[in-house]
């Protein structure tokens, strides 16, 4: 029964609307994503890409709509979900080491009050090695380069041993070595039939790296296999000026609600 | 000697009360050091300050209403008005356009003002036994009674217990709350809970340290501890230790010096440890970074001398001969006597052979000089070939990097440039295998 659902749809978002304070950021988002795909969420700045990710993960309150992951509400399938937040969202001068950060990926499985055990540390080491960072395991995290920090974050998500991964701008501001490492990692995850949903900025590489694209600009513009969705018409709709109207509408709604 | 007896009193039967005070101060320092670590990492230190000041009207009101001087009632009064203060900060930040720091400053000063007004009113009305309330301003550990200490011990014990129990949860709350929430930890609960522990610590310390300076006990020990370590567990332990030491020394010193309030003494002791940490800690300490800068300068100076000797040798195509000082002194702005002194030191470290008027490189010195020149010229070649920077712009840059680049970067540069033989000025670039030396 469960298996069948896996085969049909990994992520279903239904009529999702999200507002920051009073300003709507996402309007009536509706889409489904089949399992085993590498998915890019693409759109201009302020399109609500990160917001979409955070609301799927229950980190933001929804104004309306619902989200299902493997046909279940998020809180029932947490153990199957991995998350890579934006690198800039934490203080990298925090007194901790790379391996310790990776070990945090195990905390969900470990549960309240209990401490990480030997096998958790071993797993953390293994996943650090998978992103080629084993040499830096005991480095303080502020002594790592931006790309290395990003790889630590990826290893932490791997340590969650999930079936579906959400990654917020993993390619932002990383060096060429890290970019290659991430691409290789994404391909490995695809081979393991995992679903990976990535907020992505770079239109140049999106066709090359991803087999499914979701175009977003406050509204859903298009959602589907790369070869069907990636065309001039859709890109113009996503990045074009037509949406200025939507942005102005949001402003006026915000004022109206004050 | 008077002070000897005073100290001995801590350890005799009559000193029962003093021992209690000492234990209370140590535990308090310990708890505030631990909880302060999290407050520091979550940038909540100033919120703690606002709440300490906001506690004063609560204490006064409690006394006015009940007329009792019960430490537990005081704690409750302090907590109520402290939390009210915290709610005001949150409310002002959320519902007005004022920023968080403004809100903290507002709440701190207004509540403290109300507290001082009430305190003065109580003193002037001459209501019963009001003298003890003054100690809430700057603290007086010696005024602590057994019941006070018992409350402190219980509270500090609880605080330490909760930190140990929730260690992993508080760590993820402090480092990456969003990720913690995605794992299913209730971040809102943890946030409120940890903040409450900060408030509780501050409130428990009020009578011993005073509302004005209590926050220092949750800021200074962790700030000092951060200097010594890059690991959270160790930071907590060091911070607790510095807190406990400051608490103990503060309590002892303030009983030895008559009429000295405890709070300021504790803070001064803690500040002393902070000073030590800022200067002497490895890696983050000032002394360490001075040393690092100094040794880089020294390396630069030595390599420049070796390089000058190398260049003179290069001009005459003979690195073996002794070079008269006249030929190299033009390379330096330092006076001749200083150059001689430095050469003598290099002689002692076996980098050069130096006799009063002439000098030559030893084989070790020659290798080091060659390496420096190699880095210099490779970088010049890289800048002008790969980056298209004009020839006359590359020298100053190279002067700096020749003392810095690692061997690894240097060989990468060489590989990238395909082992060039000449720099942009036409000088030959020495390579590692030593083609360009005649030794």
pLDDT of residue A152: 96
Q: Is residue B249 part of a domain?
A: yes
Question: Same domain for B164 and B207?
Answer: yes
Per-chain mean pLDDT for chain B: 86
pLDDT (0 to 100) of residue A81: 95
Q: Is B90 exposed, middle or buried (0-12, 13-18, 19+ CB in 10 A)?
A: middle
Q: How many CB atoms lie within 10 A of CB B62?
A: 21
Chain B interface includes A92 (CB < 8 A) = no
Contacts of B231 in chain A (CB under 8 A): 95-97, 100
DSSP B12-72: SGGGHHHHHHHHHHHHHHHHHHHHHHHHHHTT-HHHHHHHHHHHHHHHHHHHHHH----HH
- CB-based contact A81 B182, cutoff 8 Å: yes
- Nearest residue to A154 (alpha-carbon basis) of A239, A214, A82: A82
pLDDT value for B436: 45
B404, B314: one domain:
yes
Distance CA A177, CA B265 (A): 54
Q: Which two tokens stand for residue A22?
A: 């009073």
Note whether B178 contacts A89, CB cutoff 8 Å.
yes
Confidence band, pLDDT 50/70/90 cuts, at residue B435: very low
Specify whether B133 is located in the same domain as B63. yes
Determine, for residues B232 and A96 on separate chains, whether the beta-carbon distance falls below 8 Å.
yes
Q: Which of B165, B178, B181 sits opposite A113 (nearest CB)?
A: B165
Asked if A156 has any chain B CB less than 8 Å from its own CB, the reply is: yes
Share of chain B above pLDDT 70, in %: 94
> Model confidence at B106, in pLDDT bands (50, 70, 90)?
very high
Q: Considering only B12-21, B200-209, B384-393, which range has the smallest mean pLDDT?
A: B12-21
Distance from the Cα of B228 to chain A's closest Cα (Å) equals 10
Does residue B317 contact residue B273 with C-beta atoms inside 8 Å?
Answer: no
CB contact under 8 A, B175 and A113: no
Which residues in chain A are contacts of B229 at CB distance < 8 A?
A: 95
Whole-Å CA distances, A5 to A70, A71, A162, B273: 6, 7, 16, 61
Q: Is residue B424 part of a domain?
A: no
CB A128 within 8 A of CB A158: no
Contacts of B227 in chain A (CB under 8 A): none
CA distance B106 to B99: 11
Contacts of residue B167 in chain A, CB cutoff 8 Å? 115
Quick one: average pLDDT of A45-64? 92
DSSP A115: P
CA distance B305 to B370: 12
Q: Which domains does chain A have, with CATH numbers?
A: 2-257 (3.40.50.300)
pLDDT at B223: 96
Residue B210 lies in a domain: yes
* Residue from the list B172, B175, B179 with its beta carbon closest to the beta carbon of A83: B179
What pLDDT, on a 0 to 100 scale, did the predictor assign at position B432? 63
pLDDT above 90 covers a percentage of chain A that reads 74
Which residue among B178, B229, B231 sits closest to A85, beta carbon to beta carbon? Answer: B178
Confidence class for position B437, pLDDT limits 50, 70, 90? very low
Is the same domain home to B179 and B69?
yes
Task: Report d(CA B111, CA B81) in Å as an integer.
Answer: 9
CATH code for the domain in which residue B212 is found: 1.10.3470.10
Indicate if B190 and B327 belong to the same structural domain.
Answer: no
User: Looking at the partner chain, which of B179, B184, B229 has a beta carbon nearest the beta carbon of A85?
Assistant: B179
Is B421 a domain residue?
no
- Pair B231, B302 in one domain: no
> 């009193």: which residue's tokens?
B9
> What Å distances lie between residue B293 and A92, B112, B289, B299, B416, CA to CA?
25, 46, 6, 10, 30
Over the range B267-306, which residues count as b (16 or more CB within 10 Å of their CB) and which as e? bbbbeebbeebeeebeeebeeeeeeeeeeeeeeeebbbbb
Is residue B425 a part of any domain in this protein?
A: no
- The count of C-alpha atoms lying within 13 angstroms of the C-alpha of B168, restricted to the half-sphere facing its C-beta, is 19
ipTM of the complex: 0.91
Q: Given this model, what pLDDT does residue B18 score?
A: 78
Residue predicted with more confidence, B428 or B182: B182
A2 has a chain B CB within 8 A of its CB: no
pLDDT score recorded for residue A244: 63
The three-state DSSP-derived secondary structure of B248-273 is HHHHHHHHHCCCCCHHHHHHHHHHHH
Question: Which domain, by its residues, includes B300?
Answer: 290-416
Report the alpha-carbon distance of residue B274 to residue B238 in Å, rounded. Answer: 12
Find the radius of gyration of the CA atoms of chain B. 33
**What are the two backbone dihedrals, phi and then psi, of residue B221, each rounded to the nearest 5 degrees?**
-60, -45
Q: What is the CATH number of the domain that holds B392?
A: 1.10.10.10
Interface test with B, best of A77, A95, A137 (most B CBs within 10 A): A95
Q: Distance, in angstroms, between B198 CA and closest chain A CA?
A: 19
The pLDDT of B268-274, averaged and rounded, is 94
In A26-65, the residues whose Cβ lies within 8 Å of chain B are 54, 57-59
User: Is residue B168 domain-shared with residue B307, that is, in the same domain?
Assistant: no
Give yes or no: residues B308 and B189 share one domain: no
Q: What is the pLDDT of residue B409?
A: 86
User: Pick the residue with more confidence: B248 or B123?
Assistant: B248
Whether residue B25 is found in the same domain as residue B158: yes
Going by pLDDT thresholds of 50, 70 and 90, the confidence category of residue B53 is very high
Judged against a pLDDT cut of 50, whether residue A121 lies above it is answered with yes
Of A57, A75, A95, nearest to B229 by CB-CB distance is: A95
If interface means Cβ-Cβ distance under 8 Å, which residues of chain B face chain A?
Answer: 41, 165-169, 171-172, 174-176, 178-185, 226, 229-232, 234-235
Average pLDDT over residues A25-39: 93
Task: For chain B, say whether A112 makes contact (Cβ under 8 Å).
Answer: yes
- Give the per-residue pLDDT at B128: 52
**Is B430 inside any structural domain?**
no
Shortest CB distance from A108 goes to which of B171, B183, B229?
B183
CA distance B225 to chain A (A): 11
pLDDT at res. B24: 87
Residues shown for chain B: 439
A24-28 own/partner pairs: CB under 8 Å, 24+ apart: A24/A63, A24/A218, A24/A250, A24/A253, A24/A254, A25/A51, A25/A218, A25/A250, A26/A51, A26/A52, A26/A55, A26/A218, A26/A219, A27/A218, A27/A219, A27/A246, A28/A65, A28/A219, A28/A220
* Dihedral (CA of A120, A126, A131, A133) sign: positive
CA B243 – CA B185 distance, rounded (Å): 30
Tell me if B54 sits within 8 A of B112, measured CB to CB: yes
Q: Examine the domain organization and report whether B352 and B262 are in the same domain.
A: no
Instruction: State whether the Cα torsion B300-B302-B305-B308 is positive or negative.
Output: negative
A258–B contact, CB cutoff 8 A: no
Q: Tens digit of pLDDT for each residue in B201-243?
A: 988 888 888 888 889 999 999 999 999 999 999 999 999 999 9
Which run of H or E residues covers position B371?
Answer: helix B363-385
Q: Which of A47-61, B293-307, B397-411 has the lowest mean pLDDT?
A: B397-411
Residue B208, exposed/middle/buried by CB under 10 A (0-12, 13-18, 19+)? buried
Q: Which of A107, A120, A135 is most worth mutating to test chain B (most B CB atoms within 10 A of its CB)?
A: A107
Most confident of A106-120, B13-27, B339-353, B425-439: A106-120
Q: Which of chain B's residues have a Cβ under 8 Å away from the Cβ of A100?
A: 231-232
Q: Is the separation of the CB atoms in B262 and B369 below 8 Å?
A: no
Question: Chains A and B: how many Cβ contacts under 8 Å?
Answer: 73
Closest CA–CA distance from residue B231 to any residue of chain A (Å): 5
Comparing C-alpha atoms, which of A185, A54, A64, A83 is closest to residue B179? A83
Residue of A nearest to B163 (CA): A113
Q: How do residues A1-18 score in pLDDT, each as one tens digit?
A: 444 444 579 999 999 999
Same domain? B130 vs B74? yes
pLDDT tens digits, one per residue of A186-222:
999 999 999 999 999 888 899 999 999 999 998 999 9
Choose one of B234, B251, B284: the last residue of a domain: B284
Domain count, chain B: 2
Of A57, A90, A140, the CB nearest to B175: A90
Q: Are strands A212-217 and A38-42 parallel, antiparallel or unpaired?
A: parallel
Is the predicted pLDDT of residue A21 greater than 80, yes or no? no
What's residue A50's pLDDT? 94
On whether the CB atoms of residues A219 and A52 are closer than 8 A, the answer is: no
Same domain, B316 and B334: yes
Chain B hits for A75, Cβ within 8 Å: 184
pLDDT of residue A4: 46
Residues of B with CB below 8 A from A138's CB? none
Write out chain A residues lying below 8 Å of B180, CB-based.
107
Residue B410: CB partners within 8 Å, gap ≥ 6? Answer: B371, B374, B375, B378
Enter the tokens of residue A246: 């939507």
Chain B residues within an 8 Å CB radius of A114:
168
- Which has more confidence, A86 or B149? A86
Closest Cα in chain A to B170: A113
- pLDDT confidence bin for B144, thresholds 50/70/90: confident
**Whether residue B129 has pLDDT greater than 70:** no
Beta bridge pairs of residue A196: A38, A165
Residues of chain B found within 8 Å of residue A104, distances taken between Cβ atoms:
171-172, 175-176, 179
Query: Which range (A186-190, A242-246, B151-155) has the least confidence?
Result: A242-246
Is a pLDDT exceeding 50 seen at residue B254? yes
Asked whether the beta carbons of residue B179 and residue A104 sit closer than 8 angstroms, the reply is yes
Q: Compute the distance between CA of residue A58 and CA of residue A75 in angstroms, rounded to an integer.
A: 8
Is the model's pLDDT at B438 over the cut of 70?
Answer: no
Higher pLDDT: B417 or B127? It is B417
- pLDDT tops 90 at residue A238: no
B402 pLDDT band, cuts 50/70/90, is confident
CA distance B241 to B258: 27
> In 10 A of CB A209, how many CB atoms?
18
């Amino acid at each position: 029964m469960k298996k069948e659902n896996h085969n049909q749809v990994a992520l279903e978002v239904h009529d999702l609307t999200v507002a920051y304070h009073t300003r709507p950021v996402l309007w009536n988002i509706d889409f489904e994503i089949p399992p085993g795909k590498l998915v890019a969420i693409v759109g201009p700045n302020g399109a609500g890409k990160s917001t979409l990710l955070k609301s799927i993960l229950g980190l933001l309150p929804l104004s309306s709509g619902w989200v299902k992951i493997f046909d279940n509400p998020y809180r029932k399938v947490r153990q199957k979900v991995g998350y890579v937040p934006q690198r800039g969202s934490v203080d990298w001068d925090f007194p901790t080491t790379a391996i310790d950060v990776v070990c945090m990926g195990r905390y969900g499985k470990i549960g309240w009050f209990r401490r990480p055990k030997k096998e958790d540390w071993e797993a953390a080491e293994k996943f650090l090695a998978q992103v080629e960072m084993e040499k830096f395991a005991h480095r303080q995290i502020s002594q790592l380069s931006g790309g290395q920090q990003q790889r630590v974050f990826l290893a932490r998500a791997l340590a969650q041993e999930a079936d579906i991964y959400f990654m917020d701008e993993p390619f932002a501001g990383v060096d060429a070595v890290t970019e290659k490492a991430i691409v290789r990692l994404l391909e490995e995850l695809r081979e393991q039939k995992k679903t990976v949903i990535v907020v992505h900025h770079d239109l140049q590489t999106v066709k090359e790296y991803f087999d499914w694209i979701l175009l977003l600009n406050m509204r859903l513009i298009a959602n589907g296999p790369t070869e069907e969705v990636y065309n001039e018409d859709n890109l113009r709709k996503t990045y074009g000026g037509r949406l200025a109207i939507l942005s102005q509408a949001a402003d006026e709604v915000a004022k109206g609600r004050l | 000697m008077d002070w000897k007896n005073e100290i001995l009193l801590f350890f005799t039967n009559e000193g029962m009360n003093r021992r209690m005070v000492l234990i209370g101060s140590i535990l308090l320092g310990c708890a505030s050091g631990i909880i302060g670590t999290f407050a520091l990492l979550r940038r909540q230190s100033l919120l703690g300050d606002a709440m300490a000041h906001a506690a004063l009207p609560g204490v006064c009101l409690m006394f006015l209403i009940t007329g009792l001087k019960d430490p537990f009632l005081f704690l409750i009064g302090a907590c109520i008005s402290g939390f009210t203060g915290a709610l005001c900060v949150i409310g002002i930040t959320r519902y007005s356009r004022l920023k968080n720091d403004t809100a903290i400053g507002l709440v701190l000063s207004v509540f403290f003002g109300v507290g001082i007004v009430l305190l003065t009113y109580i003193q002037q009305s001459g209501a019963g036994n009001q003298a003890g309330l003054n100690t809430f301003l700057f603290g007086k550990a010696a005024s602590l009674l057994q019941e006070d200490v018992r409350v402190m011990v219980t509270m500090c014990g609880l605080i330490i217990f909760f930190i140990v129990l929730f260690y992993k949860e508080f760590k993820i709350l402090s480092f990456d709350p969003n990720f913690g929430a995605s794992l299913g930890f209730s971040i809102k609960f943890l946030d409120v809970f940890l903040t409450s522990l900060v408030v509780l610590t501050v409130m428990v310390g009020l009578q011993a340290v005073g509302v004005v300076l209590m926050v220092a006990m949750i800021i200074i020990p962790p700030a000092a501890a951060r200097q010594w370590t890059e690991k959270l567990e160790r930071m907590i332990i060091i911070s607790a230790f510095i807190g406990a030491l400051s608490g103990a020394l503060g309590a002892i010193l303030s009983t030895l010096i008559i009429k000295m309030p405890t709070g300021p003494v504790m803070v001064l002791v803690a500040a002393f440890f902070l000073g030590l940490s800022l200067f002497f800690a490895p890696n983050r300490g000032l002394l360490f970074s001075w040393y690092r800068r100094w040794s880089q300068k020294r390396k630069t100076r030595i390599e420049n001398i070796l390089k000058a000797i190398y260049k003179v040798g290069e001009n005459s195509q003979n690195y073996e001969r002794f070079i008269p000082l006249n030929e190299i002194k033009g390379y330096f702005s330092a006076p001749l006597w200083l150059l001689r002194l430095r050469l003598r030191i290099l002689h002692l470290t076996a980098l050069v052979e130096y006799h009063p008027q002439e000098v030559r490189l030893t084989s070790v010195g020659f290798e080091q000089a060659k390496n420096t020149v190699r880095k210099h010229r490779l970088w010049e070649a890289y800048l002008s070939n790969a980056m298209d920077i004009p020839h006359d712009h590359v020298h100053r840059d190279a002067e700096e990097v020749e003392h810095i680049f690692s061997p690894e970067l240097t060989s990468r540069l060489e590989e990238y440039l395909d082992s060039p033989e000449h720099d942009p000025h036409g000088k030959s670039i020495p390579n590692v295998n030593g083609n360009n030396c005649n030794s």
